[in-house]
Amino acid sequence: MSKIALITGATSGIGAACAHLFAAQGYNLILLGRREQLLTDVSKHLEDKYAIEVKKIVVDVRDNEDLSYRLDTLTQQWKKVDVLINNAGLSQGLDPIDKGSIDDWDTMIDTNVKGLLYTTRIVSNWMIAQKSGHIINIGSIAGKEVYPNGNVYCATKHAVDALNKGMRIDLLPHGIKVTAINPGMVETEFSKVRFKGDEGRAKKVYDGLEPLVANDIAEAIWFAVSRPAHVNINDMLIMPTAQATGTIINRK
């Protein structure tokens, strides 16, 4: 029986790159995201190319009731998840604390923190039952430091950092591995989403530097997952060579 990876936010960027890389390694996949057509396209492509099986789950990770229902209806076979990649996340806006939109704050907190918790609450129990598993939490440089106007997004990624440490402690007796992967700038749909579809503003974020690409992060995740049984990578911070901190960037 092939191993299984469950990836949240698999319709684009880092999640989609992980889906490709894990499929190439022969994993069967459970892929989550809200955009059904993209999920269908990714699933079909990977099933055809790698002869693996894919379960697609169209769901908003903020909706715990729907998420629980959809994950619960998987067969026992599909609940044998070896790797959970808690990747679904986003930034909305880049405003000072006195001007930020409450809706944006709710969206970031509900997705990046609560969605990650809801998914982990369910899948960690499956892993405990089978006495094995590996949880990968996608944090950020924004979880290690705070940059101007990053306030709430940075707070959500600091929460991911704390939850990663908490999970590592709580799941230790069960032999479950827990790893935080913290990227700097990766060119995905992230900035387009942050600036609500403003492609020009999104493109400017990466002006004059070579950012990471989603596959760089997928490869780092694969490195953590493919270590021997006695090795756990607790935390990895991965930056473009041209980015030293959240805001110190060597632009040409």
Active site residues: 153
Q: For ligand NDP, which residue of 33, 93, 240, 246 counts as binding (CB under 6 A)?
A: 33
Q: Which residue is nearest to ligand 8X3 (CB)?
A: 140
CB of 191 to ligand 8X3, least distance (A): 8
> What does DSSP assign to residue 207?
T
* Closer to ligand 8X3 by Cβ: residue 15 or 246: 246
Considering the rule CB under 6 A, would residue 193 count as an interface residue with ligand NDP?
A: yes
Site for ligand 8X3, rule CB under 6 A: 91, 140-142, 185, 246
Distance separating alpha carbons of residues 114 and 127, to the nearest angstrom: 20
CA–CA distances in Å: residue 103 to residues 107, 139, 154, 219, 225: 6, 22, 16, 34, 36
> What does DSSP assign to residue 243?
B
- C-alpha closest to that of 218 among 13, 6, 2: 13
Considering the rule CB under 6 A, would residue 89 count as an interface residue with ligand NDP?
A: yes
- C-alpha closest to that of 144 among 182, 181, 114: 182
Using DSSP's 3-state secondary structure scheme, residue 32 falls into strand
150 close to 142: Cβ distance less than 8 angstroms: yes
Q: Which of residues 203-242 bind ligand NDP (CB under 6 A)?
A: 214
* Closer to ligand 8X3 by Cβ: residue 29 or 141: 141
Considering the rule CB under 6 A, would residue 90 count as an interface residue with ligand NDP?
A: yes
* Closer to ligand NDP by Cβ: residue 52 or 59: 59
Q: If 0-12 CB within 10 Å is exposed, 13-18 middle and 19+ buried, where does residue 5 land?
A: buried
Task: Please give the residue ranges that form the binding site for ligand NDP (CB under 6 A).
Answer: 8-15, 32-35, 38, 60-62, 87-90, 111, 115, 138, 140, 183, 185-186, 188-190, 193, 214
